[in-house]
Amino acid sequence: MPELPEVEVIRRGAHRYLVGQRIAEVEVLHPRSIRWHLGGEADFRSRLVGEEVVGSGRRGKYLWFDLTGHDKLVIHLGMSGQLAVRDRDRTQRDHLRVRLGFTESDQQLHFIDQRTFGGMLVSPTVVGAATPLAVDRVALDPLDPLFSPERTAARIRISRREIKRVLLDQKVVSGIGNIYADEALWRTRLHWARRADSLPTRRVIALLEQAAVVLEESIAAGGTSFDSLYVNFDGVPGYFGRELNAYGRLGQPCYRCGSSIRRERFDGRSSFRCPRCQPSRTVKAESG
DNA sequence: CGAGTATCCTGTCCGC
DNA sequence: TGCGGACAGGATACTC
């Protein structure tokens, strides 16, 4: 579910609450939610208890909280993960999977995850490195200060795969999921099935630049919420859904040309595009 | 390396 | 009202 903007909105909210808190207790209510923590539940707990949260970070769809030592608490929200601060004596358990209590607070951090595709782990960090080891194989995302559209475009253009598949490959560029892939493709008038190696460099760079723009605009709007599975840290939905041009707009007019937006099956999921603006082959010589 | 497929889960919605 | 199937923001692990 959550892509980069939703993860970033949640990180910012959680950062405000968590920094300065010292972890006093950790309860894992569903073992699957820490399956990526190879040391198991006891190790997960012991690495967290006593640690103070001193900062936070994010790469792509992974977020983490910096701890006093060399470890970081890494979280991936999967399709349905949420973070929230709730009273420790709350009785309603809905899909509560993990909760953290703090030394000087009656509130707890709750990791809620209906489908349990997400998870948490404690990951060591190499001294001097900005990111925990657990995410070191994740590519830079388009909003990272070190991200280079030129370098990533060069990497993309050696692939024979469809452009959307490459855009969704977190080892090539991270943070982009199904929604924002469709949005970036719409903005650059590209068909999702275009082979990456058939695209001129400038079009791939434009695609990455538009991806960065749409991600930033979505963050500013609080992310995209289709249902209650995505809300920000304070339980408030994002309203970027109103600004989507392609995703979810089956049968509705393209805002650029009026054609009816299509939905197509690709890689087991839905892709939305404008049949006129995003044809399978370039119709005529493009201007510019 | 990459294409294709299956899998992990729970819930909602739609058609019959 | 019930039931089966499709579908949902993601990632990984297989086979070939």
pLDDT tens over chain A, length 288 residues: 699 999 999 999 999 999 999 999 999 999 999 999 999 999 999 999 999 999 999 999 999 999 999 999 999 999 999 999 999 888 887 899 999 999 999 999 999 999 999 999 999 999 888 899 999 999 999 999 999 999 999 999 999 999 999 999 999 999 999 999 999 999 999 999 999 999 999 999 999 999 999 999 999 999 998 888 888 988 899 999 999 999 999 999 999 999 999 999 988 899 999 999 999 875 444 443
Amino acid at A93: R
- Measuring from the CA of residue A238 to each C1' atom, give the nucleotide at the shortest distance: C9
Residue A182: phi, psi to the nearest 5?
-65, -40
- CB < 7 A contacts with chain B (nucleic strand): A 32, 79, 95, 114-117, 159-161, 165, 267-268
Amino acid at A105: S
- In angstroms, the CA of A16 and the C1' of C15 are apart by 47
Query: CA-CA distance, A167 to A239, in Å (whole number)?
Result: 24
Q: Are residues A187 and A245 in contact, defined by beta-carbon separation less than 8 angstroms?
A: yes
pTM (two decimals): 0.95
Query: CA-CA distance, A45 to A23, in Å (whole number)?
Result: 10
Q: Are residues A122 and A72 in contact, defined by beta-carbon separation less than 8 angstroms?
A: yes
- In angstroms, the CA of A262 and the C1' of B3 are apart by 25
Which H or E element spans position A209?
A: helix A201-220
Closest of A136, A87, A92, A137 to residue A107, by C-alpha: A87
